[in-house]
Amino acid sequence: MSEKKQSSIMSQEMTKVISLCRRRGFIFQSSEIYGGLESCYDYGPLGVELKNNVKRFWWNAMVRDHENIVGLDAAILMHPRVWEASGHVEHFTDPMVDCKVCKHRFRSDMVEGDKCPDCGGQLTEARQFNLMFKTQMGAVTDDAYEVYLRPETAQGIYVNFLNILNSSRQKVPFGIAQIGKAFRNEITPRNFTFRTREFEQAEMQFFVKPGTDKEWFEYWKEQRMNWYYKLGIRKEKLAFHQHDKDELAHYAADAYDVQYEFSFGWKELEGIHNRTDYDLKKHQEFSKKNQSYFDDQTRERYIPYIIETSAGVDRTVLTILMDAYEEQQLEDDVRIVLHLSPAIAPYKAAIFPLVKRDGMPEMARKITDELKKRYMVFYDDGGAVGRRYRRQDEAGTPFCITVDSQSLEDQTVTIRDRDSMQQIRISVDQVAEWLNEKVTA
């Protein structure tokens, strides 16, 4: 299904966010000049800054703020036996049906009855469809063997458990964090960047002593929900959903989703799972390598349980954009504004000379050069200042700094707050410190 057709069935709110993303350079459809590639997207200048800021915000919360969590960047291509051990080769499937008339494909658990939701045609019987992308490794096709683009980043952590345990001098309980790309050949990708075939995950696997897993599970549930609050997402739009027996994965003793109330319903942002010792036991069985841990304090040997936190970076970015989007009816027009937290906004400030003469551009440039040593900022001298404000409102820039005629007289500037549209005046030599306080608050 094309992005255009997708947009037609999306909510009005989603359609407006998609339009803003394209207009302001947050997100574009991949390969657009060739008609686009379904469910694949490119992040533009503002989008890549926002996404990087979200990843940095996650990395700081997980790795820098915890002495017992270390990082990893595992390869996308892994030995095929990894996916046999994990169960992906056998079990990573969705039930699929085809329309006999329009040939569209659907997950059978997402359609009602035996009629096509697009054209009303008859659907085929359901069959299982493996979601992993296959490719071949080797210089000559005849000598190549099949490998997979990883469908999740977690397995790269599990197979490096002993490497990291032995090299980092960590002791249980400890965690391994990773941000990276994953690939799933989704039958029905939908809702813009919410469900795509190429996506980025931010995962942390926390290794604990059996018997302490429930305590750590509750700890990480609280930590992860608080992280979304700190991103500035509205609390009333967030909730936990516990998996019932029918939803629970075969490896999990317990599982909760952090959900957000989108215009298309409550949907998962992140999963917190008690994976028990399933993963390390499976890799021990298939690799014949001992994955146990020896506790030199208690003199016990055991295979650790794993508490997993698995977040979708692209879903988080989409959530931030949708949660921040607002149309405000003013006296003379409608203002579109993104209420992004200063901590993750692509640009922390925009600097304007009121007019392009009388030394104002030179002073504004000097302020820009000073601020960009620490932050991404934007210099703009094009058009009326009101229009410049509106452009930055749509970009989510929290503060606009204007150099005017008074600035040349007393070395002060005006700073406009995006959300309140109120202005204050401060000395030029206080701008950097003022902005730093706002961004790090």
pLDDT tens-digit map of 199-228: 999 999 999 999 999 999 999 999 999 999
pLDDT tens-digit profile of 336-366? 999 999 999 999 999 999 999 999 999 999 9
* Together in a domain, 46 and 143: yes
Residue 7 has pLDDT above 50, yes or no: no
Per the domain annotation, does 333 fall within a domain? no
Contact predicate 268/257, CB 8 Å:
yes
Query: How far apart are the C-alpha atoms of 415 and 389, rounded to whole Å?
Result: 11
Residue 415 lies in a domain: yes
CB burial class (10 A; 0-12, 13-18, 19+) of residue 268?
middle
Residues 278 and 388 in one domain: no
Confidence of residue 2 (pLDDT cuts 50, 70, 90): very low
pLDDT tens profile 264-302: 889 999 999 999 999 999 999 999 999 999 999 999 999
Taking residues 152-168, report their average pLDDT. 96
Last residue of a domain, one of 306, 321, 336: 321
Residues 316 and 352 in one domain: no
Query: Which domain range does residue 80 map to?
Result: 3-92+131-321
Q: What is the mean pLDDT of the chain?
A: 91
CA–CA separation, 110 vs 95, rounded Å?
Answer: 10
Per the domain annotation, does 111 fall within a domain?
Answer: no
* 100/295: higher pLDDT: 295
> Would 122 be classed as within a structural domain?
no
More confident residue, 94 or 229: 229
Domain holding 221: CATH number?
Answer: 3.30.930.10
Structural domain includes residue 340: no
Q: Are residues 311 and 352 in the same domain?
A: no
Residues 354 and 294 in one domain: no
CB 109 within 8 A of CB 120: no
pLDDT at 8: 41
- State residue 159's pLDDT score: 97
pLDDT computed for residue 10 by the predictor: 57
Whose CA is closest to 244, among 263, 230, 257, 258?
257
Same domain for 359 and 275: no
Q: Are residues 79 and 170 in the same domain?
A: yes
- Co-location of 354 and 423 in the same domain: yes
* Beta-bridge partner residues of 42: 28
User: Is there a domain that residue 101 lies in?
Assistant: no
Asked if 66 and 136 sit in the same domain, the reply is yes
Q: Please report which residue ranges of 113-234 form alpha helices under DSSP H.
A: 154-158, 161-168, 213-230
